Amino acid sequence: MPSPDAVRPSSPGPHAGGHFRWVICALLFFSVALNYIDRNIIGILKMPLSEALGWSESDYGVITAAFSFAYAFGYLIGGRLIERFGVRYGLPGFVFFWSLAAMAHGLCGLIPVEARFSMAYPWFSFAQKGFFWATLALPSTALGFMMARIALGLTEGGNFPGAIKAVAEWFPQRERALATGLFNAGTNVGAVLCPVGVPWLLKHVGWESTFYITGALGFVWLVAWWFLYESPEKSRRVSDAERAYIMGGMPGARSGVAIKAEPVRWRVLLGYRAVWAYIIAGILAGPVWGFYQFFLPDFLDKRYHLPLQATGVWTGIFYALAAVGGVVFGWLAGKFMDRGWSINAARKISLLVCALAVVPVFLAPYAPGIWLTVLIVGIAGSAHQGWSANLFSFVSDCLPKKAVSTVVGFGGFVTYFTGGVVSWLTSQILEKTGSYVLVFAWASLMYVFSLIAIQLLVPRIPQSPEADATAPKN
């Protein structure tokens, strides 16, 4: 049964006047897949790079930490720049620069392996209760990779804010979670293709050319974007009927006149309770995906003592399951709305289903076989992707389109900084207990707590985000 406040949307017709908006979704899918390939390639090449360039574990840790913090800032900066330059020019700008950064990793092969870098810097120690001068010493090749990873993180951070803004512009509310789930499946496709394709490239062309080739794929995407993308108000490939369906009857939908608006100031954005709900959900549930990315292979190895290749296969199965969930749970909200449910009921019930599907993940350390373990964690990962699709859509449901990428960018900044803390705490728990039990127990509850916060802060998602009722009244 739909909720009491359910409002049946007007029927768009069987084809909504056309399908070009799904071409845009496909472009976003491939940009996200490339984003993950360029991001994950260094993890696949960790062992051969460490052997060839003489890296220690701490050297590699500095490189990966540099990317994580740069990516957090990239989200923050990227969201604001997307608002300023728009999706048409902002998103391809980020793809262009992150493709250059990805290729720049290969240039580190020009640095002599024996070259060393050291630098003294001030450091605060609680043990010594004050500042002292510490020394950062690492191979110059590691420094080169660190700089390339910083550039990659700063530029890749604009991808998701740009993609979410594109979905808000190109899809009506009923389809946003499905479109987000579809393009977000590119993360899992990229994560699966990376361990398959990168070792082959390494064997045949070497590690430097592997970075050149994978980075250059972004320029192929740029050509497709240049020829296909325009805003729905201006695109000649969109029929009047599809444009009206996309714009939901907004002024300018049929005339093709774009509605211009200045970016919303932060002082105004922080007055929206929906912004705080999104930030809290990012702090609580957002880091769980990072836990799966960075620790699931280690968990499977420690639990079942698998060879490296088998660990990769089971990890790939996890990502495949996650990809399916993002689409299915994204479709669910639209299906509810088609049945007459309000946006509020459809979005929150979808989030509730995802939150409950994650809860059994606390059983993963106790599962008797690897099939069951991967199935339990895979369902949780699938639910996370569905949760993300609906949470991103929650932002565009509640906020004006001109504010969407800024808020998504800030939420990503908070999520990835929190994720860094969670990764450190996870390592401390493992060091002290040698067990993942507490970590999986934490992961199982974060989505439920997040949904409680969302409901308390935003009891009702408005039918029209341009007239948002979730902002405080003056």
Task: Using pLDDT thresholds of 50, 70 and 90, give the confidence band for residue 17.
Answer: low
Residues 127-152 have pLDDT tens digits of 555 555 555 666 778 888 989 999 99
- Does residue 287 sit in the same domain as residue 398? yes
Mean pLDDT of 52-77: 80
- The Cβ-side half-sphere exposure at 10, using a 13 Å CA radius, reads 8
Q: What's the CATH number where 67 sits? A: 1.20.1250.20
Between 315 and 125, residue with greater pLDDT: 315
Q: Number of structural domains, the chain?
A: 2
Question: Does residue 97 fall inside a structural domain?
Answer: yes
Between 253 and 230, residue with greater pLDDT: 230
Range 63-98 burial, b when 16+ CB lie within 10 A, else e: bbebbbbbbbbbbbbbbbbbbebbbbebbbbbbbbb
Question: Does residue 287 fall inside a structural domain?
Answer: yes
Check residue 132 and give its pLDDT.
54
Rounded to the nearest integer, the mean pLDDT of the chain is: 80
Tokens, residue 258: 């774009």
Mean pLDDT of 60-77: 81
- Does residue 363 sit in the same domain as residue 285? yes
Residues 342-359 have pLDDT tens digits of 888 888 999 999 999 999
Which residue reads 């979704």 in tokens?
A: 25
Task: Using pLDDT thresholds of 50, 70 and 90, give the confidence band for residue 283.
Answer: very high
What's the CA gap between 359 and 296, in Å, rounded?
A: 17
- Does residue 354 sit in the same domain as residue 436? yes
Mean pLDDT of 435-448: 93
- Does residue 406 sit in the same domain as residue 309? yes
Q: What's the full length of the chain, in residues? A: 474
Question: Does residue 2 fall inside a structural domain?
Answer: no
- Does residue 183 sit in the same domain as residue 298? no
Could you give the 3-state DSSP secondary structure of residue 218?
helix
pTM of the model: 0.71
Q: Are 386 and 330 in contact (CB under 8 A)?
A: yes
The C-alpha angle 100, 105, 109, rounded to 5 degrees, equals 130
Res. 216: pLDDT tops 70: yes
Res. 1: pLDDT tops 50: no
- Does residue 451 sit in the same domain as residue 329? yes
CA-based nearest residue to 286, from 124, 413, 466, 456: 413
Question: Does residue 76 fall inside a structural domain?
Answer: yes
Give the per-residue SS3 of 423-437.
Answer: HHHHHHHHHHHCCCH
Question: Does residue 282 fall inside a structural domain?
Answer: yes
- Does residue 90 sit in the same domain as residue 163? yes
- Does residue 224 sit in the same domain as residue 331? no
Q: Are 384 and 289 in contact (CB under 8 A)?
A: yes
CA-based nearest residue to 384, from 281, 243, 236: 281
- Does residue 188 sit in the same domain as residue 273? no
Q: Which residue, of 208, 229, 250, is where some domain finishes?
A: 229
Q: Which residue, of 205, 229, 253, is where some domain finishes?
A: 229
State which residues form the domain around 426. 267-474
Q: Are 161 and 85 in contact (CB under 8 A)?
A: no
